[in-house]
Structure 1
Amino acid sequence: MGRPRQFDEERAVESACRTFWAQGFDGTSTEDLCRATGLNRSSLYNTFQSKEVLFRRALMHYVTTTSARQDAHLHVPGKSGLERISSLLSAIAEDEGTKLAAGDTSGCFTVNTITTLANRNPEVAQLIEDDLRRRLSALSAAVLSGQRDGSIVEDRDPDDVAWYVTTLISGMRISAQSGADRKVLDTLATTAVLTLAA
């Protein structure tokens, strides 16, 4: 019978997520992960097998968390489809503005991974693609709901609008990394809402 683990595995994944997010896969060493998780090298590899496996766990934690936050804005009873999308975009502007004010320019973990690792790691690429499909589906449903309740223009394909909103969110995050302040981010969100309004 193996000895019980003396640590919280999910908390270790969260700590690794923050480290990978800030430094990227290539920029994160085993020593960095040991410091972040509080595990020694042996325990780290006994638990997670490899740096790559831990990275995938960390990325899954991130996409699950961000998808849940998106869903919280897109599934609010009593709000129109446009109000739901507006709420999501405002939250993105607030998040990025808060990070920028704190000097955090880490951006989006998913976007960072797409541009650095996904093209050479099929498993990571698949994880990101699955997450993208889930988020696009939720956005498309919100757009269709908005078209049915009259808040969103009807002459656009909901799937195309979902891609537009997803691309805008990524652009807002990258703009924040480049120094766009909260006012700019709020303007981007407001402009998108005005573009979609019926």
Structure 2
Amino acid sequence: MGRPRLFDEDEAVQAACRVFWAKGYESASTEDLCAATGLGRSSIYNAFQSKAHLFRRALGHYVDTMTARQIAVLNEDGSSAAERVRRLLDIIIDGEMENRRKGYGSGCFTVNTITGLAAKDPLVAEILEKDLERRLFSLRSVINDGKRDGSISSHSDTQSLAWYLVAVIYGMRVAAQSGADAPALARIASTSTVALTC
């Protein structure tokens, strides 16, 4: 019978997530992960098998947390669908500015992974594809709500608008990474929400 683990595995995953987010998969060393988690090298590999497996756990934690927050905003009652979309974009802006202040990462962990690692690791690509489908589903739902309440144009294709919003969110995150400030991102958000009514 194996010895029980004397650490919180979820906390270790969250700590590793911050390292991978800030440095990326390739640049994050085992020493970095040990320092962040407070675990020795053997404990990390005994618990998580490999750096790649720990990265997938960290990415899964990140997308589950972030997407759940975004879906919750889109599902809020008491306001029009267009207002809920705008609130989501405002939260994206606030999050990017907060990340910049705290130095949590260079851009969005998801966007960085899509452009850097997804093509090389099919298991990472699978995590991202499932997350994207969850977000597209929630965006399609709010767009259909908007078509019913009149706040979003009924003339545009729902799936195309959902993809448009995904592209806007990714673009805002890349713009923030490139140095765009909050007012610049707010102008992008405003232009995007106006486009939903056309």
| TM-score class normalised by the smaller sequence | over 0.9
1:136-160 Cα distance to aligned partner (Å, 9 max, x none): 1100110001001111011111111
CA gap of 1:50–1:105, structure 2 versus 1, over 3 A, is: closer
Aligned pair count?
198
Q: What is the rounded CA distance, in whole Å, between the counterparts of 1:145 and 1:17 in structure 2?
A: 34
Where structure 2 has 5 or more consecutive residues not aligned to the other structure, the ranges are: none
Please name the residue that 2:92 is paired with.
Answer: 92
* Contact 2:18-2:105 at 8 Å conserved across structures: no
1:59-104 Cα distance to aligned partner (Å, 9 max, x none): 0000001111111110001221111111101111111123334556
Please name the residue that 2:22 is paired with.
Answer: 22
Q: What is the rounded CA distance, in whole Å, between the counterparts of 2:47 and 2:104 in structure 1?
A: 30
Q: What is the rounded CA distance, in whole Å, between the counterparts of 2:159 and 2:142 in structure 1?
A: 10
Please name the residue that 2:60 is paired with.
Answer: 60
Letter of the structure 2 residue corresponding to residue 25 of structure 1: Y
Counterpart secondary structure, 2:119: helix
Q: What is the rounded CA distance, in whole Å, between the counterparts of 1:40 and 1:102 in structure 2?
A: 26
Counterpart secondary structure, 1:125: helix
Q: How does 1:25-104 map to 2 (within 5 A)?
A: 25-102=25-102
Letter of the structure 2 residue corresponding to residue 121 of structure 1: D
Give the share of equivalent positions with the same residue, in percent: 54
Please name the residue that 1:151 is paired with.
Answer: 151
Letter of the structure 2 residue corresponding to residue 191 of structure 1: T
Please name the residue that 2:127 is paired with.
Answer: 127
Please name the residue that 2:170 is paired with.
Answer: 170
Letter of the structure 2 residue corresponding to residue 48 of structure 1: F
Letter of the structure 1 residue corresponding to residue 23 of structure 2: Q
Q: What is the rounded CA distance, in whole Å, between the counterparts of 1:150 and 1:181 in structure 2?
A: 32
Counterpart secondary structure, 1:196: helix
1:14-45 Cα distance to aligned partner (Å, 9 max, x none): 00000000000100111111111111011100
- CA-based RMSD of the aligned residues comes to 1.2
Counterpart secondary structure, 1:79: coil
* Contact 1:140-1:162 at 8 Å conserved across structures: yes
